[in-house]
Amino acid sequence: MAKLDKDEFNEMIFSRINSLISEYELIKENELIAVALSGGKDSVLTLHALKRYQEFLDYDLVAISVDEGIKGYRSHGIDAAVNNARDLGIELVQKSFLEDEGFALDDIYSEFKSACIPCGVFRRNILNKTAYELGADKIATGHNLDDEIQSFLMSFARGDTIKFSKFGPELDVIHPKLVPRIKPLWNTPEKDVGLWAVLNEIDIHLEECPYSHLSLRAKIKQFLNNNEDEYPGLKNNIMESFQKILTFENDISTNLNECKLCGEPTSSSICKACEIKQLVSQDCKSHIYDE
Ligand code: SF4
Ligand code: ZN
């Protein structure tokens, strides 16, 4: 790897992404793809990769950033999102928890076992609403191979097998108001994403979120990275087991309703975002979820 030059590396990483897009038909002609752009390395690579893929297919791109309201952290990410979108000539729609929900993550996180719980719920909610309003056919997220393995183990550890249906490079339409998601970096290891950003001197947001160390995901990530050195191939083995399970489980379908309070798609009668808003307004301590 040390001798690999930049052009060869770029060829390798973009060919793998292109093959995934074409193999799974993640994008179809004339679609509008909304890239969830945090400014971190994964979302920035997704934006660059989808811009390049326009060479092969005619479709449109827009980017959406969501400012969760994490003081001293998120604004740097937004700067990187703005710069990359501008350099690539892609429109960036900027959203925030404060404007959409009336509070910043910093204001409410202490009500939860982990800040990632409300963060994930409201970010997904705002992304979906925005992409839907823009008329996007799909949302492209920067989930890489390591993220996918972590998510798989998190669901496994919780016995939450319904979530297995959310794995794979694309999520089907299960409700007309839920914009389908694609993951162009689904089989790209995190270390390759980092190397791409460094080799190409890409403007990305490198800081760690101040809340991330509290999450189950961070602990699983640390476990995997520590043990991958000692047991090389560990991550691949988990991914392979997971793909075998997926072939058995991919007929899981979730029936979605519309939230009684806000109308967004949900598997219950009230969506997670509204449920959390009620908890926050009641000033309840919730320890039932963990991201
Ligand atoms: Fe949000 Fe958690 Fe990610 Fe921080 S680490 S941005 S709190 S999901
Ligand atoms: Zn709702």
Q: With bands split at pLDDT 50, 70 and 90, how would you rate the model's confidence at 238?
A: confident
Residue 113 main-chain phi, psi, to 5 deg: -65, -35
Query: Residue 36: CB partners within 8 Å, gap ≥ 6?
Result: 43, 63, 64, 66, 127, 139, 140, 141, 142
User: Mind listing the pLDDT tens digit for each residue in 135-161?
Assistant: 999 999 999 999 999 988 888 887 777
Please answer whether residues 154 and 220 qualify as being in contact, where contact means their C-beta atoms are separated by less than 8 angstroms.
yes
Q: What residue's CA is closest to ligand 1, atom 6? A: 209
DSSP, residue by residue, 136-201: -SEEE----HHHHHHHHHHHHHHT-GGGGGG-SSEE---STTS--EE-TTTT--HHHHHHHHHHTT
State in Å: Cα 260 to ligand 2 middle.
7
Q: What residue's CA is closest to ligand 1, atom 4? A: 209
Please answer whether residues 21 and 33 qualify as being in contact, where contact means their C-beta atoms are separated by less than 8 angstroms.
no
Q: What residue's CA is closest to ligand 1, atom 5? A: 212
User: Global pTM?
Assistant: 0.88
Our mutation pick for probing the ligand 1 site, out of 37, 65, 141, 215, counting the most ligand atoms within 8 A of Cβ, is 215
> Side-chain half-sphere of 33: how many Cα atoms within 13 Å?
29
User: Mind listing the pLDDT tens digit for each residue in 12-57?
Assistant: 999 999 999 999 999 999 999 999 999 999 999 999 999 999 999 9
User: Mind listing the pLDDT tens digit for each residue in 62-81?
Assistant: 999 999 999 999 889 999 99
Q: Report the sign of the C-alpha dihedral through residues 35, 276, 215, 266, in that order.
A: negative
Could you say which DSSP state residue 266 is in?
E
Q: What residue's CA is closest to ligand 1, atom 7? A: 116
Q: Report the sign of the C-alpha dihedral through residues 60, 22, 190, 7, in that order.
A: negative
Instruction: Say which ligand is closest to the CA of 274.
Output: 2
Pocket of ligand 1 (CB under 6 A): 68, 115-116, 119-120, 209, 211-212, 215
